[in-house]
Structure 1
Amino acid sequence: MLKPSYPIETARLSLRPFTMDDLEALYAFHSRPDVARFLYWDARTRDETRAALENKIGWAQLREGGDTLNIAAELRETGVLIGDLTLFWRSAEHRQGEIGFVFHPDHHGRGLATEASREILRLGFEDLGLHRIYGRCEARNTPSARLLERLGMRREAHLVENELFKGEWSDELVYAMLRREWNPPEESPGGR
């Protein structure tokens, strides 16, 4: 079981559970076609974003294998929601997890997604005791692949046309890291 002690503070971010107050900020990036291009859902309407947010609110902890943890990333300086992070507990028996992330494009290129995702890896490895965490992305999603590499994950697979994705055959990249490969930053500047 994993019930994070919120908020989780990093140098520039506060990671916390989602609330209904996040609707407009979440809609601001979930509604963008450029954000949804390589995701399993299309750009969302306000009602679709509200429905997704209602689910996210209920996913603030992991109780058993198969559960999903959703965490909001906001800028500490302004309190503005900029990211949506996920840790899927894929298998309790095999101690496997999967990381996911979606960030507002206005905040790309500043290392914020890397900063937040490191905390998700920490939660998975140190707090939940996972053995392996992997991340998947559509092969054309170069920014996500680079982020997974910056996190220290190794590319384990390039699956060729492994699924029908938004009407076309799509390649998928799989990255992973083992607990023994996890190399946390020496000190989290801002505490936890």
Structure 2
Amino acid sequence: MSTTAHGGASPELHLPFDLAELDASPVRTGRLVLRPIRAQDADDVDAYQRLPEVVAYLPWPLRDREASHEHTALRARQRTLAGDGDAVALAIVLPGEPSLGGGGEGRVIGDLTFILTSAAHAQVGVGWVLHPDFQGRGYAREAATALLDLAAGLGAHRIAATVDAANEPSLALCERLGMRKEATFRHDRHDRTGWRDTVIYALTGAEWLGRRVSAADTTTSPGAH
């Protein structure tokens, strides 16, 4: 590993990152399974992509069933992080909840987005969306925690989330994850409702790993409840 002019280690992401790793070994949290999104997930994904209250905070248009299925198939084909701008999607699967598409492993109740924003500077972006029927139960935090673990494990130096300023649940999730509110861009986007503000939350991979170690120490200490 090389060093910079300031004497620190150069950032180095472990690339390329191929979703085949998660096909073989999905991420399992306490209640969820995170694995690459598949074309067969389209009915479950359509159930939240078509909701105005969900799409209002996302860079997506409202989609009918056909367009939603096409979009899910497109995302399912995006399998590798190798160059700047590459993005992959992970399905948030709730085992035991029947899939609308008839799959037996559980229902896709949302998804995670993982974006390579700068390979040279070891920077990644993260995002999440959850069906409203499954909000308020801690699933989003559980899934996002696993996504940040994945980003840190990939060697990310900086992990950032871009959030619509009106998306209060997502802003609150960033705060609960311990991410810093670094900037608010006023009227930087325009959509069918008018001008929108964007909030940037971020933290370094080292900060995230430190939080995870501290949380583990608290959980395993004799006085922890």
Contact conserved, 1:89 with 1:96, CA < 8 A, in 2?
Answer: yes
Contact conserved, 1:35 with 1:43, CA < 8 A, in 2?
Answer: no
Match of 2:64 in 1: 45
The share of aligned pairs that are identical, in percent, is: 36
Q: Is 1:22 matched with 2:41?
A: yes
Which shifted more, 107-116 or 159-168? 159-168
Match of 2:7 in 1: none
Q: How far apart in 2 are the matches of 1:106 and 1:37?
A: 16
- Aligned Cα RMSD in Å? 1.6
Match of 2:151 in 1: 124
Which residues of 2 match residues 45-124 of structure 1 at below 5 A? 45-78=64-97, 79-124=106-151
Which residues of 2 match residues 148-167 of structure 1 at below 5 A? 148-167=174-193
Q: How far apart in 2 are the matches of 1:132 and 1:63?
A: 17
Higher relative contact order (CA 8 A, sep 6+): 1
Q: Is 1:2 matched with 2:17?
A: yes
Give the secondary structure class of the aligned counterpart of 1:186.
Answer: helix
Q: How far apart in 1 are the matches of 2:167 and 2:131?
A: 15
Larger radius of gyration: 2
Contact conserved, 1:163 with 1:169, CA < 8 A, in 2?
Answer: yes
Residue 33 of structure 1 and its aligned partner are, at CA, apart by 0.7
Equivalent position amino acid for 2:46 in 1: Y
Give the secondary structure class of the aligned counterpart of 2:216.
Answer: coil
Give the secondary structure class of the aligned counterpart of 1:28.
Answer: helix
Contact conserved, 1:27 with 1:49, CA < 8 A, in 2?
Answer: yes
Q: How far apart in 1 are the matches of 2:131 and 2:171?
A: 17
Equivalent position amino acid for 1:152 in 2: G
Residue 64 of structure 1 and its aligned partner are, at CA, apart by 3.0
Residue 167 of structure 1 and its aligned partner are, at CA, apart by 4.8
5+ residue gaps in structure 2? Answer: 1-15, 98-105, 218-225
Residue 100 of structure 1 and its aligned partner are, at CA, apart by 0.8
Give me the TM-score of the superposition, normalised by structure 1.
Answer: 0.91
Residue 73 of structure 1 and its aligned partner are, at CA, apart by 0.6
Contact conserved, 1:60 with 1:71, CA < 8 A, in 2?
Answer: no
Q: Is 1:34 matched with 2:53?
A: yes
Contact conserved, 1:12 with 1:77, CA < 8 A, in 2?
Answer: no
5+ residue gaps in structure 1? Answer: 188-192
Q: Is 1:181 matched with 2:207?
A: yes
> Number of aligned pairs?
186
